[in-house]
Amino acid sequence: EKGNYRHYMQKEIFEQPIVVAQTLQSYVRPFEGKIALPDIDLDLAGVNRVTIVACGTSFYAGMVAKYWIEQFARVPVDIDVASEFRYRDPVMEDGGLALFISQSGETADTLAALAYAKEQKQVIAAVINVPTSTMAREADIVLPTHAGPEIGVASTKAFTCQLAVLAAFAANLARAKGKMSEEEEADLVAHLREVPETLNQALDHDEDIASMAHLVAPARDVLYLGRGQDYPLAMEGALKLKEISYIHAEGYASGEMKHGPIALIDDKVPVIVLAPSGPLFEKTVSNMQEVAARGGKIILISDAKGIAEAGEGCMATIEMPEAHPLIQPIVYAVPVQLLAYHVAVAKGTDVDQPRNLAKSVTVE
């Protein structure tokens, strides 16, 4: 079933252009230039607050969505990991939509949080990969991802499919709220159609990234830095690395470095910086320079423009294609997945079945 691939995780990383395209097919009407959520009987114009709850990688997809929903639809978003959410007695007012994100649809903490939100009379929407799951049954609205079965314990293709659905959701909400014009919607649809091709371009860096594995594999600690919507990507990169390579890794908001973690930096700490060119680029680069000045060894993930501006002095660079903000995190997921994968392979760990982890966490 793995075909020519050595691991399921590798196969699933490479499936992303196809499964993301498959997923987008149910959300995008390319010829009309429209984004439409499948079979939904809900007037999104009435939604005045969104609460996002999930665990692990699905939570990081939710964090990206928070940036998107607030930026594009101007609707406030509350977000929490499921295991915290349900114990903090969160306030949920009428008119709120609670959005749960789960690959399996069986994660116990997320299910318990869903039950709580139901009691609070929220409209329950769920982004789910397994259509027959408990969560899909419990939700009022299911926004499916079509990633197909994900076998590797480290989630990869489910994540990018979740992001694709969440981008469509954010755009749809923005339209319903009158915050996105028809032209902007059509423009976004055109960009979404390019996602599979853009993902292929990102995957073309596989060998490049494999050749960087030896720079990271000996490390005891690795930091990932990102700003704005790349901050959750930094956390996702760190989670992938720690899950399968057992190297201690942390994702940080790049501006937080100087508030503590920079004390960890020396010439043995690789620092992975996610910094697409754009309004946040200069700030992230100055954080990166603070790290470099302390001997930190940087791998910069950016586009051609960003690398031309800031690549000098980095231990390595990974060049991503330029992409619309609603697409960029989907693309940047690929290099962090590949890096974690190749480091784990270099370390000889059990990539698909890492120690101590289960694919689906059905206990609270």
List, by residue number, the catalytic residues.
359
Instruction: Give CA–CA dist 165/176, Å, rounded.
Output: 16
As a three-state string, the secondary structure of 275-288 is: CCCCCCHHHHHHHH
- Closest to 159 in 3D by CA, of 54, 67, 70: 54
Q: Which stretch binds ligand M6R (CB under 6 A): 21-29, 150-158, 196-204, 219-227?
A: 150-158
- Closest to 206 in 3D by CA, of 74, 338, 95: 338
Q: Using the rule CB under 6 A, is 172 a contact of ligand M6R?
A: no
Task: Name the 3-class secondary structure at 335.
Answer: helix
Contacting residues for 138 by C-beta, under 8 A, at least 6 apart: 111, 114, 115, 118, 124, 126
| 18: its two tokens | 């196809």
Among 10, 110, 160, 302, binds ligand M6R (CB under 6 A): 110
Q: Using the rule CB under 6 A, is 55 a contact of ligand M6R?
A: yes
Residue at shortest CB range from ligand M6R: 56
* Residues between 230 and 249 with contacts to ligand M6R, criterion CB under 6 A: 239, 243
Q: Using the rule CB under 6 A, is 57 a contact of ligand M6R?
A: yes
In angstroms, give the least distance from the CB of 136 to ligand M6R: 12
Q: Using the rule CB under 6 A, is 155 a contact of ligand M6R?
A: yes
Among 20, 77, 79, 154, binds ligand M6R (CB under 6 A): 154
- Closest to 213 in 3D by CA, of 333, 343, 337, 334: 343
| 338: its two tokens | 């590949």
Q: Using the rule CB under 6 A, is 10 a contact of ligand M6R?
A: no
Q: Using the rule CB under 6 A, is 107 a contact of ligand M6R?
A: yes
**How many chain residues are in contact with ligand M6R, going by CB under 6 A?**
17
In angstroms, give the least distance from the CB of 340 to ligand M6R: 9
Site residues, ligand M6R (CB under 6 A): 55-58, 102-104, 107, 110, 153-155, 239, 243, 357, 360-361
